[in-house]
Structure formats: structure tokens, C-alpha cells
Amino acid sequence: MTAAAAGGEAIAGLNLEPMQPSRRRLARPRGKSLAGLILLGVFVIIAIVGPYVAPYDPSATSGAILQPPSAAHLLGTTQTGQDVLSQLLVGCRVTLLIGVVAGLVATSLAVLIGVTAGYLGGIADEGLSALSNIFLVLPALPLVIVLAGYLRGAGPLSVAVVISVTGWAFGARVLRAQTLSIRERDFIKAARIKGESVLRIVVLEILPNELGIVISALLLTTVFAILTAASLAFLGLGSLSSWSWGTMLYWAQNAEAFTIGAWWWYVPPGICIALVGTALGLLNLAIDERLNPRLRYAQPASRRATAQTGPAAADVPALTSGAEA
Amino acid sequence: MRFFARRIGFYVVALWAALTINFLIPHLMPGNPVQLLISRFHGQLAEAAVRGLEKTFGLHTNQSLVAQYWGYLEQLAHGNLGLSITYFPASVSSELRASLPWTIGMVGTATVVSFLLGTLAGIFAGWRRGSRTVDAIVPVSTFLSSVPYFWMGLLALTVFGVSLRWFPLAGGSSQGIPGGFDPAFIGTVLYHAILPAATIVVSSAGGWLLVMRNMTVTTMSEDYITVAVAKGLTQRRIMFAYAARNAILPSLSSFALSLGFIVSGAIVTEIVFSYPGVGYILFNAVGNDDYPLMQGIFLVITLAVLAANLLADVLYAALDPRIRQGVTS
Amino acid sequence: MTPDGLPAPATEARPATEPGPVLEIRDLWVSYNSPAGEVPVVRGVSLTLGRGQLVGLAGESGCGKSTLAHAAARLLPASGHVTSGQVLYWPLASEAVGEPADVLQLTGEQLRQFRWRSLAMVFQSAMNSLNPVLPVGAQITDAIRAHDRTVSRKACRERGAELLDLVGVGAGRLRSYPHELSGGMRQRTMLAMALALNPEIVIMDEPTTALDVVVQREILDEIRALQRRLGFAVLFITHDLSLLLDLADRVAIMYGGLLMEEAPVTALVGEPAHPYTSALLHSFPTVDRQERLVSIGGSPPAASSYPSGCPFHPRCPRALDTCRTKMPAPAVRRAAGSVCSVACWNPMPAAQAVGAVQEGEPGAS
């Protein structure tokens, strides 16, 4: 869309200033990225070891129906006596898996289509852009619902694929815009004159400079995928045969857990989804800050107030002291 | 003018694509939906009904795909979306006509409120950057926008509906009060809409906030802001006419694009609150294998999203003179 | 006060022929925050701008000239702050009374009124300096109404038209958007905007750097003509010393955060006292001289790693041992019937001034 390209695209979290060619600094993790990494790490570990450390088989029913948290069941039990904690631990794997697979597939599609469109230009560009714009504009969930409705009973991987089909267009558009602007930079022109093959240029020169956006797109798409998959499962459209957090919520809703106040059943899965999303979101923000130096430091208010020996504090916007009216 | 011509052209193409996808889906999916339906009704469907269904799907087995496609388009041109199975013999269009106003009213308002709230808060968060309390809003927003809509809704329902009994648990209006433009009806409509609308606002405002904040921060480092300060303009003037007016442009374009995502969240919210909108009947349709209804809804939603996109484009062009004049760069 | 404990130079009273000061920067120190800590970028610079004068400030990239201007205009970004010094402003009205105001101490409404009315600024890249979504007329109107809300919009438009005519853009462009104007026109528009409130001081930060040579010439002539006509003082910042030779009344040279030399332009060209100035003068061709161009070996230091002592010593052909350890303090001298200053432990002997006609008294060393 020319509109966005002219006005400069700044979609939440997606940074658009490519790094200088061949300047890659190893960042020391600080604040946001550290929190995000740790949080994500916790869940990744759970995803890996979950099924092994779960105290019970998540599908095993028992007589202890709708028990609040206790020593035997740390997160209580469901309406059929299943252990909530075990479901949570085991379900982590499928939830994350769907998210990651959908994220990877969607992002790969985005890179393929977006970079190609941006680099080739001309008719190929027009066609591919039209394609991504159409997919972008079509509302995702209704389409996914319809598709999933037909694909009832399919496994989690099918769900992931369906989600990818609706989620790639976003990143593709951003990557296209970025590729268009990088293409005109001198070092690319130099490479072309040198006679480097298109594949080499794209893979070795262009992509490394778009790494930030690609990673950002990957993170955001993964969040999108996890939320969409959870929604689908909740609606009874996901694969109900395997345990995921969305599935837990489906069964909880089915058993009217919300109305009878069985909070131990529905609160943990929801919070876990939110935490994983937050972790990815924080990482995304951290990358954004790293690549867009303008987002980095403002002088913290406390320092501004006390640091001055005589002359008044800094004057340009966002810093309050000085011109007010 | 050229700008609008191009945009409208694009939307026409997108609409066509949606129609075609809608047509192709039943043809591409495994199984014959008509057979499915017939077996569901245990062969009790009248001949006319079966013909009608076949027509809806364009599934005349003795016609070529292209002919079926034309038949399908013809049906659409007459506003015939087929018959709903869940609400048989009501037509899909009548079901849509009944539920659409609810959705537009509640979801539409909630979305606009969320956008305004989030964007204003985002401007503020970007402007007052550097103070710890203001910066804390960023991780909070990240968290809130990661919470699944339906979970938020269920929580709200449980806390405010079940425990505190402040709000009703389901429906768009109270049973006993008939429809009409009288205060009683309007009152009960609002009463029922508050919780679902609030859920949508809380879940989605965070996203707008983050976009706007980032853009505001980036815009503030532009030279023309420094010049504005140098000119001695008031903070308010700088913030709105110089910073926000430039910073909001990408927000607008991304508003249009993320409309699809908003619609998804809205659907789920309606389901959670049993709110009689388009999302709710979609859910029922899915549960009943009501393919005509499902696809009718998909079409209508797509139309709405395209229209909203067009609106956003108009707004964008109104605000940015470079777009009006088709300038690139 | 220099770090060596020497007193900062007192500004001598100027001779009667010179105009009184309108802006005086006294011993200004400006630092930026960086991940590595606080970095001083301007280190004790004193500079005076006389009423109606055009003073050029020249130096290589990174010498701190832009920072100096922004600090004086109270436009430092979030990461910069003034650590010590004063910026004194003598409004015309108070000349009789003789009470200057310290710009750095102004707050709130005072500061806002000071901006643009007393001191306006013209920036380098006009494309980015103009708000892309407002017509240029509106941006001029903004400036006017920000200071006096009672002025009617019609009057603002008329003033805008008048200003645009004045700078040669034409009143018909009032409704144009920045992207509809050429580079030269944008810069003239910035000029028009700067003059909207008849300021006493206009700081121009590399106003012609982004333009081609022909347009550059036009704009410079325009500036000179406007200045003579309206009588405002100009601080003209550039990295291209050659521009100043025709344009400026006085020239100041900065390097490594210090003011190396300041003198009337004829004295500076005729008998540069600082080795850096001399080297600069030899690095660009002029019509009257035929000689080999000599570039200065090495490159200017980054603010985060200024050399100890005199920042120029690694590249200076006249460096002494003192130069490596002690920052030079500006010393006052007289040339061309005026007060000048040079900060050097080993300034050029007057006899070595190259080419130009000897004018005025020989510099004291």
C-alpha cells in the first residue's frame, strides 16, 4: 500500500532501520530482554520435560472430582478427576509447538514472498503484493474457523498449517518495504555490478540486514499463532485429542467451570498463555530498542531534576521542565 | 483521485478473491457437504430443500465448475446466500440481518473506543517517556495484549457476573423487554453490552498503545519537532499538530490491517458472553455443520473489513497530503 | 575556569566602532550522556555575537559547533546538558540599562517567549525541518500565534505572504506542502519562517550544506541582503570555511570542543594565528592563490576520545610538549583594529601569514 510505504511503516514492534552492513554487536542482555528470555526459557524447559515430570497422566480420570489445590493435586482436579497440573505441564509442549511451527512456516513464507517481491520489482512485485494484501485484508479467524470446520479432527500440525496460511501476509509486507529500500543502497548496487548471483545477494547481503525484522516477525507471528490456536481449541475446533492449554479451556468451559468457580482449572492455562505471549513480546521490544536507537535512552526524570548545578534542564519535548503553557 | 481509484480497484479485487475462496472451499474440502446434510436430516429434507442446498453450494454435479461458479455469483447478486441449517428454514441472509446490528453496535463501538483510548495513551506514554511509572505501562500493555480474549471475557464474566452479580451473564437484552427505540430497551442493551465491550477494550487497547508510543518516540526525534520547540510553540500544539499527526499515520494503516485480528477477538468475545451477534451464530453454525451459514458469515465479515479498510484509507489520505497527491518517498 | 586552574579570559570592552553584544556565550561546557558515561563535547567556549553582525563558526565534523548552537538556543536533546557557563542575551530595549538575561536560566513562559522572538534558528535539512503534513503558511502562522494569540489568522496569512515574497519564494506558496517545494525553496521558506517575528539573533546551522553550489550562492546572497536590510545578527555555522570569507564579519574556528581562534575575517585570513586555522585556509583553492593544496593529516577526534591537552596536538606541525598535557586557554590579541582571541601554546608568528595583504597591527604573540 503506497500509503503506508510513503508514511513510513511502523507496526508495533517491527523495526525498520537495517543495521550497517557487517556490523553485528553482541548485545549484553538487559532489562526487558533478560526478563523475556528467562520467562521463555522456563516454558521451553517445561515443554521439553513436561510429560516426564507430570505427576499423573493428564487423561487419567479419578474419583477426586473438582478438588481445589491440595497436596495430592497441586492445581486441583477437573470434573472428571484429572490432574490440572499434569495437563498444564503436558499441554505446554503442544501449545508451544503449534506456535513455533506456525510461526516458522508463516515467517518463511513471508521472507520468501516479501523479499522476492521487493527485490524483483515490476510485475512480480505487483502480483505478489496484491496477493499479500488480499491475505492481509481477509479476516483471519473466520477463515480459519471455516477451514478448521472442514478439517475437523485433524491433528495439531494441520492447525498450525491453517494458521500459517492466514498469518504470513503481515511480515511479507514489511519485508517487501524494507527490501525495496535496501535494494537501492550502494553496497547492493556494488554487489550487482560485481556480478554476484541474485541468490547470493539476497541470502548473503540483504537478509542479514533484515535479520531484526525477520526475528521480530517470527516472534509476533508466534504469539498470534498461539492465541489463535488457543481460540480454535476453545471453540472446539482444534485437535481435541492432544492436550494443549486451549483444549484445557475448552473442557473447562464445557463443564461450566467458570460459573461454578473452579478457578484452579481455568486460571492457570490462561495465565500461561499470557505469560508466553508476554515473554515473546518483551523480546520483541528489546530487539526493537536495539535496532532503533531512537527508542533507547531518555534521561530518566529523577536524574534530570537533580543533575543540574545551575542551568535549567534539557529543553526538547518529553522532558517537561522548561516551556510549558 | 488516482489514489482512491487504485485503492477501490484493490478492494474490488480483494472482494472477488473472497467470493471465490468462499466458493472454492466446499469444493476443495473432503466430503460432500450436501450429502452430509442430507444424512444429518435422515433423508427428511424435501426435494426443494435439497435443490436449494445444491444451488447454494453451486454443487450441481452435472455442471462444470465454471458453470457452477457463475451460478454461485448469480445467487450472490440476488442476495441469496442460501438456507441456514441450524435455523432451518430461515435463510442465511435473514439470520445475518438479525445479528449484524448487535455486532456492529457492540464490537464496533468497543473497537473505536479501544483505538482512541490506546492511541491517546500511547501518545502520552511516548511524550512522557523516561519516568518510571509511565514506562511501566509498556510491559503491562504487552501482557494485556497477550491475554487471550476469551479468557479475559470468561474471567470478567466470572468475577463481575457470577460473583459480584453486577452484570448479566448472557444475551444482548433482557428477555422481557421488547425491541424499539425507547429508553427501556436502549437501557437494557447498554447494560448487556458493557461487559463484553469492556473485555474487548482492555484486551486490544494495549496493542494500539504500543504502536502509538513507538511511533511517537520515533517522531519526537525528527527535526521538525526540534524546530517546533525552537519556535516557542506550546507543548499542546507540538504534541498534537506536529508529533501526533505524523505519528498516527502508521497507526491508521495498521488499524485497517489489524481489523481482521480484532474481528477474531470480537467473535470469541461474543461466544463467551452469548452475545447475539455474528460471532455467536458463527459458533452455532460450526457446531451444527451449517456450511451455508458459516460461509455467509465469512463473506459478510470480509465485506465489513474491506469497507473499514477503505474508510481508514480515506482518513489516511485526509491527514497526509503526500498520499493525496500520490507522492512516494 | 579552565581545568588547569587558569582564570577564563575577561572579555575586553570593544572599541567604539564595534557594535555592542547581543549574545554572549561565556565559558560554556556541554556534555552528552552515553553508555560510557558523560562525554564533554563543548569545553569552555566563549564567543560573542555583536548586534547586527554576521559571525561565522567553522570547524570539522564533530568539533562541537552544532552542539554549541543548540545549547545556546536551549535545544539540546534529552541526552545533552550544559554543565557550566552562561549565555547572556542583551535585548535591544535593555541596552541602555545594561542588564543581560542568562538564556540558560530562563524557564517556562519566559523561555517560550524568548524562543523565536529573540532567537530563531535555521537548520540544515529543511525537508526534515518542516512538518510534512502542514502547509508552510500554517507553519509560519503557528510561530506568530504562539507568541501572540490575538493576531488574527488573516493577519498571519498576510505576514506569511510578505515573508515568502521577501525571501523569493513567492506568496503563492502559502498553501504548499513541504514536499511540493524544491530544496532551495524549502531552505528559503525556513529563512522566511525564522524572520517571522523579527528576531534579533538568527542561528544558522549549515543552512546550505544540502544544496547544490548555484542555489547555495543564491541563498547566501539572500541571507546577506536580508541581514543588511533588517539588521539581525547571525551566527553562521559551517564546515566550509570558504563560504565565510565573503559572508562573515568575524570568524570563529572550533576544534575538539574548544574555540581555537576568533577574529575579524580579514585578520583571520590575512594573519591566522592558530596553526589549525592556517592549515584550513590552505586546504581549499581560492582564485588569487596558485599553490598546492595541503590537507591536514589524520582526522578529527571523536568527543569520547579527545586527546589530552590541546586536541589538535596529534596533527599539529607546531606542537610543543606543553600542548600534549595542558589545554590551551584563549589569549586575547589585537588585529585589524579589533579584539581577537587565539587558544594556542605556540601560535603562528605574524611573518608567516601567507599571501594576503598585511592589514592592521601585527599580531602580538
Contact yes or no for C120 and B230 at CB 8 A: yes
Evaluate if residue C192 carries a pLDDT over 90.
yes
With pLDDT > 90 as the criterion, what percentage of chain C qualifies?
Answer: 40
Q: Which three cell numbers stand for residue B304?
A: 465489513
pLDDT at res. B112: 86
Angle subtended by helix axes A156-167 and A140-150, to nearest 10: 150
CA atoms within 13 A on the CB side of A153: 1
Minimal Cβ distance to B321: which of C77, C133, C142: C133
Minimal Cβ distance to B322: which of C111, C113, C179: C179
Residue of B nearest to C197 (CA): B231
Is B283 in the A-facing interface, judged by CB distances under 8 Å? yes
Q: Would A68 be classed as within a structural domain?
A: no
What confidence category does residue A297 fall into, taking pLDDT thresholds of 50, 70 and 90? Answer: low
- Mean pLDDT, residues B136-144 taken together: 86
Minimal Cβ distance to B246: which of C111, C125, C132: C132
Residue of C nearest to B233 (CA): C146
Question: A173 vs C236, which has greater pLDDT?
Answer: C236
What confidence category does residue B228 fall into, taking pLDDT thresholds of 50, 70 and 90? Answer: very high
- Mean pLDDT, residues A68-90 taken together: 84
The amino acid at residue A269 is P
- Mean pLDDT, residues C352-363 taken together: 35
| Min distance B29 CA to chain A CA atoms (Å) | 6
Residue of A nearest to C112 (CA): A323
- Mean pLDDT, residues C302-329 taken together: 87
Q: Do residues A151 and A166 lie in contact, with contact meaning Cβ atoms separated by under 8 Å?
A: no
- Mean pLDDT, residues A166-182 taken together: 80
Evaluate if residue C149 carries a pLDDT over 90.
no
Question: B323 vs C112, which has greater pLDDT?
Answer: C112
Report how far residue B64's alpha carbon sits from residue B45's, in angstroms, rounded to the nearest whole number.
25
What confidence category does residue B326 fall into, taking pLDDT thresholds of 50, 70 and 90? Answer: low
Contact yes or no for B241 and C142 at CB 8 A: yes
Report how far residue B212's alpha carbon sits from residue A11's, in angstroms, rounded to the nearest whole number.
9
pLDDT at res. C35: 80
Is A321 in the C-facing interface, judged by CB distances under 8 Å? yes
What confidence category does residue B88 fall into, taking pLDDT thresholds of 50, 70 and 90? Answer: low
Give SS3 for C94.
Answer: helix
Q: Residue C237 phi/psi, 5° resolution?
A: -100, 135
Is C209 in the B-facing interface, judged by CB distances under 8 Å? no
Q: Do residues C61 and C300 lie in contact, with contact meaning Cβ atoms separated by under 8 Å?
A: yes
Contact yes or no for A151 and B158 at CB 8 A: no
Instruction: Tell me how far CA of residue C62 lies from CA of B50, C45, C59, C303, in angstroms.
Output: 82, 15, 8, 7
Residue of C nearest to A308 (CA): C83
Is C81 in the A-facing interface, judged by CB distances under 8 Å? yes
Minimal Cβ distance to B224: which of C73, C121, C129: C129
In the sheet with C331-335, reading across from the earlier edge strand, the strands are C119-122, C201-205, C233-238, C54-58, C250-255, C258-264, C338-342, C331-335
Residue of B nearest to C177 (CA): B321
Is C108 in the B-facing interface, judged by CB distances under 8 Å? no
Q: Do residues C202 and C192 lie in contact, with contact meaning Cβ atoms separated by under 8 Å?
A: no
- DSSP string covering A204-251, please? IIIHHHTHHHHHHHHHHHHHHHHHHHHHHHHTT-S-TTS--HHHHHHH
Contact yes or no for B232 and C143 at CB 8 A: yes
What confidence category does residue C303 fall into, taking pLDDT thresholds of 50, 70 and 90? Answer: confident
pLDDT at res. B34: 63
What confidence category does residue C43 fall into, taking pLDDT thresholds of 50, 70 and 90? Answer: very high
Evaluate if residue C249 carries a pLDDT over 90.
yes
pLDDT at res. A209: 79
In the sheet with C37-50, reading across from the earlier edge strand, the strands are C37-50, C21-34, C80-89, C101-102
A-C Cβ pairs (cutoff 8 Å, strict)? 60
| Interface test mutation site (partner A, options B6, B7, B142, max chain A beta carbons within 10 A) | B142
**How many domains does chain A fold into?**
1
Residue of C nearest to B319 (CA): C133
Q: Would A10 be classed as within a structural domain?
A: no
- Strand duo C258-264 + C250-255: pairing: antiparallel
Could you list the residue range(s) of the whole structural domain that residue A217 is in?
30-45+82-294
Strand partners, B76: none
pLDDT at res. B168: 75
- DSSP string covering B69-119, please? HHHHHHHHHTT---B-STTTTSBHHHHHHHHHHHHIIIIIHHHHHHHHHHH
pLDDT at res. B36: 62
CA nearest neighbour of C263 among C205, C354, C337, C201: C337
Evaluate if residue B222 carries a pLDDT over 80.
yes
B-C Cβ pairs (cutoff 8 Å, strict)? 80
What confidence category does residue B74 fall into, taking pLDDT thresholds of 50, 70 and 90? Answer: confident
Evaluate if residue C305 carries a pLDDT over 80.
yes
Residues in B closer than 8 angstroms to A238, CB to CB, are none
pLDDT at res. C94: 57
A-B Cβ pairs (cutoff 8 Å, strict)? 253
Instruction: Give the CATH number of the domain where residue A195 resides.
Output: 1.10.3720.10
Give SS3 for B307.
Answer: helix
Residue with cell 535555521: C122
pLDDT at res. C193: 93
Q: Which three cell numbers stand for residue B61?
A: 454435479
Instruction: Enumerate residues 6+ apart whose C-beta is below 8 A from B183.
Output: none
pLDDT in tens, B296-321: 887 887 787 778 777 777 777 787 77
Evaluate if residue C31 carries a pLDDT over 90.
yes
Evaluate if residue C355 carries a pLDDT over 50.
no
Instruction: Tell me how far CA of residue B20 lies from CA of B64, B72, B295, in angstroms.
Output: 15, 9, 11
**pTM (2 d.p.):** 0.73
Question: B27 vs A102, which has greater pLDDT?
Answer: A102
pLDDT at res. B45: 62
pLDDT in tens, A181-239: 777 777 888 888 888 887 888 888 788 878 877 888 888 889 888 888 888 888 777 67
pLDDT at res. B13: 83
pLDDT at res. A324: 26
Q: Would A234 be classed as within a structural domain?
A: yes
| Interface test mutation site (partner A, options C26, C81, C102, max chain A beta carbons within 10 A) | C81
Contacting partners of chain A (3+ CB pairs under 8 A): B, C
Evaluate if residue B291 carries a pLDDT over 60.
yes
Is B246 in the C-facing interface, judged by CB distances under 8 Å? yes
Q: Would A289 be classed as within a structural domain?
A: yes
- Mean pLDDT, residues A79-96 taken together: 87
Minimal Cβ distance to C133: which of B223, B227, B319: B319
Instruction: Tell me how far CA of residue A50 lies from CA of A44, A244, A250, B134, in angstroms.
Output: 9, 12, 21, 38
Is C132 in the B-facing interface, judged by CB distances under 8 Å? yes
Instruction: Enumerate residues 6+ apart whose C-beta is below 8 A from C258.
Output: C43, C44, C45, C310, C311, C327, C328, C343
Contact yes or no for C105 and A312 at CB 8 A: yes
Give SS3 for C259.
Answer: strand
What confidence category does residue C9 fall into, taking pLDDT thresholds of 50, 70 and 90? Answer: very low
C-alpha dihedral (C33, C34, C35, C37), degrees to nearest 10: -60
Report how far residue B163's alpha carbon sits from residue B156's, in angstroms, rounded to the nearest whole number.
10
Q: What is the mean pLDDT of chain C?
A: 84
Q: Would A196 be classed as within a structural domain?
A: yes
pLDDT at res. C234: 95
Q: Do residues C31 and C40 lie in contact, with contact meaning Cβ atoms separated by under 8 Å?
A: yes
Minimal Cβ distance to C76: which of A310, A315, A323: A315
How does DSSP classify residue B139?
A: H
Evaluate if residue C351 carries a pLDDT over 60.
no
Question: B189 vs C276, which has greater pLDDT?
Answer: C276
Instruction: Enumerate residues 6+ apart whose C-beta is below 8 A from C110.
Output: none
SS (H, E, C) C179-235: HHCCHHHHHHHHHHHHCCCCCCEEEEECCCCCCCHHHHHHHHHHHHHHHHHHCCEEE
Query: Which H/E stretch holds residue A86?
Result: helix A84-120
Question: C221 vs A301, which has greater pLDDT?
Answer: C221
How does DSSP classify residue C327?
A: P
Contact yes or no for B225 and A316 at CB 8 A: yes
How does DSSP classify residue C249?
A: S
Question: C352 vs B185, which has greater pLDDT?
Answer: B185
Q: Residue C20 phi/psi, 5° resolution?
A: -70, 160
Question: A9 vs A85, which has greater pLDDT?
Answer: A85
Query: Count of CB atoms within 10 A of residue A65's CB?
Result: 12
Q: What is the mean pLDDT of chain A?
A: 73
pLDDT at res. B52: 67
pLDDT in tens, C252-263: 999 999 999 999
Q: Which three cell numbers stand for residue B229?
A: 520547540
Evaluate if residue C235 carries a pLDDT over 90.
yes
- Mean pLDDT, residues A155-162 taken together: 77
Evaluate if residue B324 carries a pLDDT over 80.
no
Q: Which three cell numbers stand for residue B138?
A: 509498556
Q: Do residues C39 and C303 lie in contact, with contact meaning Cβ atoms separated by under 8 Å?
A: yes
Q: Would A176 be classed as within a structural domain?
A: yes
Instruction: Tell me how far CA of residue A241 lies from CA of A146, A244, A266, in angstroms.
Output: 20, 9, 19
Contact yes or no for A294 and B163 at CB 8 A: no
Residue of A nearest to B14 (CA): A134
Question: C217 vs A62, which has greater pLDDT?
Answer: C217
Query: Which H/E stretch holds residue C174?
Result: none
Evaluate if residue B47 carries a pLDDT over 90.
no
Query: Count of CB atoms within 10 A of residue B13's CB?
Result: 13
Contacting partners of chain B (3+ CB pairs under 8 A): A, C
Query: Count of CB atoms within 10 A of residue A70's CB?
Result: 12
Q: Which of A89-93, B130-134, C196-200 has the lowest mean pLDDT?
A: B130-134
Q: Which three cell numbers stand for residue C2?
A: 579552565
- Strand duo C338-342 + C119-122: pairing: unpaired
Q: Which of A154-158, A307-311, B161-165, C187-191 has the lowest mean pLDDT?
A: A307-311
pLDDT at res. A308: 32
What confidence category does residue C292 fall into, taking pLDDT thresholds of 50, 70 and 90? Answer: confident
Q: Which of A44-58, A171-185, C52-66, C214-228 has the lowest mean pLDDT?
A: A171-185
CA nearest neighbour of C29 among C67, C62, C57: C67
Highest mean pLDDT among A133-142, A259-268, B78-87, C155-164: C155-164
pLDDT at res. C136: 93
Structural domains of chain B sorted by starting position, each given as residue range(s) with its CATH number in brackets: 96-289 (1.10.3720.10)
Report how far residue C18's alpha carbon sits from residue C255's, in angstroms, rounded to the nearest whole number.
26
Instruction: Considering only CA atoms, give the Rg of chain B.
Output: 24
Strand partners, C246: none
Minimal Cβ distance to C78: which of A311, A319, A325: A319
CATH of C21-248, one of 3.30.450.20, 1.10.10.10, 3.40.50.300, 1.10.1240.10: 3.40.50.300
Residues carrying CATH 3.40.50.300, chain C: 21-248
SS (H, E, C) B201-250: HHHHHHHHHHHHHHHHHHHHCCHHHHHHHHCCCCHHHHHHHHHHHHHHHH
Instruction: Tell me how far CA of residue A275 lies from CA of A41, A222, A226, C104, in angstroms.
Output: 12, 13, 11, 48
Residues in A closer than 8 angstroms to C82, CB to CB, are 311
| Min distance B238 CA to chain C CA atoms (Å) | 10
Whole-complex ipTM: 0.81
What confidence category does residue C363 fall into, taking pLDDT thresholds of 50, 70 and 90? Answer: very low
- Mean pLDDT, residues B159-164 taken together: 79
Q: Residue A184 phi/psi, 5° resolution?
A: -85, -5
pLDDT at res. A26: 38
pLDDT at res. B321: 79
Residues in B closer than 8 angstroms to A301, CB to CB, are 130-132
Contact yes or no for C78 and A314 at CB 8 A: yes
pLDDT in tens, C101-144: 899 998 888 899 899 999 999 988 777 889 988 999 999 999 99
Q: Would A219 be classed as within a structural domain?
A: yes
Residues in A closer than 8 angstroms to C109, CB to CB, are 323-325
Instruction: Enumerate residues 6+ apart whose C-beta is below 8 A from C210.
Output: C124, C125, C126, C183, C187
Report how far residue C125's alpha carbon sits from residue C328's, in angstroms, rounded to the nearest whole number.
34
| Min distance C129 CA to chain B CA atoms (Å) | 4
Residues in B closer than 8 angstroms to A146, CB to CB, are 25, 294-295, 298
